[in-house]
């Protein structure tokens, strides 16, 4: 079933594209893990709950914003309360004696393997720590090593602001003018996505001057999934270090970071990984760099050998793995929040989630096309191999975008705006349904007609 295209499934159903019966039929054939999540009610997310009748107010909302903040797993509250209980009952002893068998001294061990499964890494290549931008800065210490001949950084135009600021300030910290150090890859005139061949041409032309290539795995504004293995291989062939910001890719699309020979990557966990607002970050360091003493980096005691860590002898002996990049012990509550979500991911696989994601987003695309509205266009690539679950809708004006967004907000549909004039829609296969997609399109259609 899951290997079929959305067109084949719709043909098999013998139901009209725009019918709610089709959405229900698709949901019956392709169940989700929705029951593992807390789904907010319409009344608690609507901007005008007083205008809703009781039946609508008590319905589950249409939450299509997992690309901004994932929903809370049902087990999150239980796990957090368990840690609070251990703290209350045992105090400092919780670091080593823990009645739920999660001693705090090694709490992050519980989230490493599933994180590796999600990003396609070997067990010693992933570390859970800090936040995304902190990790980006931290990893640029060993991996951005500019010289007078090779100091430039290649990134996509309109990168997420935090990435742009990090790269600008790193270049300036090393004494380079950011305007000269940063090469921004633009899309062609009249296009929104950046063509892979244009990126490869830039790498070929300027590669000898580029110290670091750092793109978003999946572009936050357009929803474009870059050809990560092809770009990485081209950059490595020119002697560049390659890093990726996986904020919108992790938990969204399948990746093989180790096999693609990526040097480093970092991500947040509060979007598709559902770890909660401000959730703990993650990082990947290819194991070919593990133990490389030529890489000068910062260190802290939590990255030292656990067998000698508490000897307090100030003799640094790093762990042989990405965990050697840790500085301090992680926030236990943040780690178990991530653990709750990863336990849900462990019930499936990125391969299976991707199959359903292609169907959900393909269904959304078909319904939007069926509207034939002159007021919006999809700026996310139409080729499903070049996108994740998100579709970015560009409206003809800010007035139209705001009208549509406000109408959705009033009716309990959760999505987000990104200036200029884009509303992002992300049907997430862990918990979204085809019925969610159908309801969203119907409400948006009525707003467009106003």
Report the binding-site residues for pyridoxal 5'-phosphate. 132-133, 160-163, 216, 245, 248, 270, 301, 329
Rounded Cα distance, 434 and 392, in Å: 18
b/e for 339-376, b at 16 or more Cβ within 10 A? bbbbbbbeeeebeebbbbbbbbbbbbbbbbeebebebb
Rounded Cα distance, 253 and 350, in Å: 7
The side-by-side arrangement of strands in the sheet containing 210-216 is 126-128, 282-285, 264-267, 241-245, 210-216, 152-156, 182-185
Considering only CA atoms, which of 185, 136, 124, 139 is closest in space to residue 163? 136
Answer whether 91's CB lies under 8 Å from 98's CB: no
Answer whether 265's CB lies under 8 Å from 217's CB: yes
Considering only CA atoms, which of 104, 141, 120, 124 is closest in space to residue 324? 124
Rounded Cα distance, 341 and 338, in Å: 5
């Amino acid at each position: 079933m899951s290997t079929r295209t959305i067109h084949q499934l719709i043909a098999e159903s013998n139901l009209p594209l725009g019918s709610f019966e089709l959405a229900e039929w698709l949901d019956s054939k392709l169940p989700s893990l929705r029951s593992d999540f807390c789904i907010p009610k319409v009344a608690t997310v609507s901007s005008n709950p007083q205008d809703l009748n009781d039946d609508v107010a008590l319905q589950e909302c249409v939450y299509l914003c997992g690309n901004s903040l994932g929903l809370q797993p049902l087990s999150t509250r239980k796990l957090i309360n368990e840690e609070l209980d251990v703290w209350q009952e045992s105090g400092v002893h919780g670091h080593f004696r823990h009645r739920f068998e999660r001693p705090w001294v090694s709490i992050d061990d519980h989230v490493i393997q599933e994180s590796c499964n999600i990003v396609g890494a070997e067990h010693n290549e992933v570390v859970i720590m800090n936040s995304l931008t902190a990790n980006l800065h931290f990893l640029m210490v060993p991996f951005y090593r500019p010289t007078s001949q090779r100091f430039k950084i290649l990134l996509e135009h309109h990168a997420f602001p935090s990435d742009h600021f990090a790269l600008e300030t790193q270049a300036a910290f090393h004494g380079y003018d950011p305007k000269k150090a940063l090469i921004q890859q633009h899309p062609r005139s009249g296009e929104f996505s950046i063509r892979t061949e244009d990126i490869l041409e830039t790498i070929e032309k300027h590669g000898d001057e580029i110290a670091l290539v750092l793109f978003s795995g999946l572009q936050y504004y357009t929803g474009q999934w870059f050809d990560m293995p092809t770009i990485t291989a081209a950059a490595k062939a020119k002697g560049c270090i390659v890093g990726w910001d996986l904020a919108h890719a992790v938990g969204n699309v399948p990746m093989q970071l180790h096999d693609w020979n990526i040097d480093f990557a970092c991500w947040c966990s509060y979007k598709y990984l559902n770890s909660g607002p401000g959730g703990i970050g993650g990082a990947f360091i290819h194991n070919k760099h593990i133990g490389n003493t030529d890489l000068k980096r910062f260190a802290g005691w939590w990255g030292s050998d656990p067998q000698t860590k508490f000897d307090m002898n100030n003799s640094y002996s790093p762990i042989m793995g990405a965990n050697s990049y840790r500085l301090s012990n992680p926030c236990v509550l943040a780690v178990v929040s991530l653990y709750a979500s990863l336990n849900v991911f462990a019930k499936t696989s990125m391969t299976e989630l991707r199959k359903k994601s292609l169907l959900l987003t393909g269904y959304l695309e078909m319904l939007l096309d069926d509207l034939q509205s002159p007021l919006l266009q999809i700026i996310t690539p139409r080729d499903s191999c070049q996108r994740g679950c998100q579709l970015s809708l560009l409206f003809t004006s800010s007035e139209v975008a705001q009208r549509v967004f406000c109408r959705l907000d009033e009716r309990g549909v959760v999505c987000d705006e990104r200036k200029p004039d884009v509303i992002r829609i992300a049907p997430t296969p862990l918990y979204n349904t085809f019925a969610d997609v159908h309801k969203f399109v119907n409400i948006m259609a009525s707003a467009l007609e106003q």
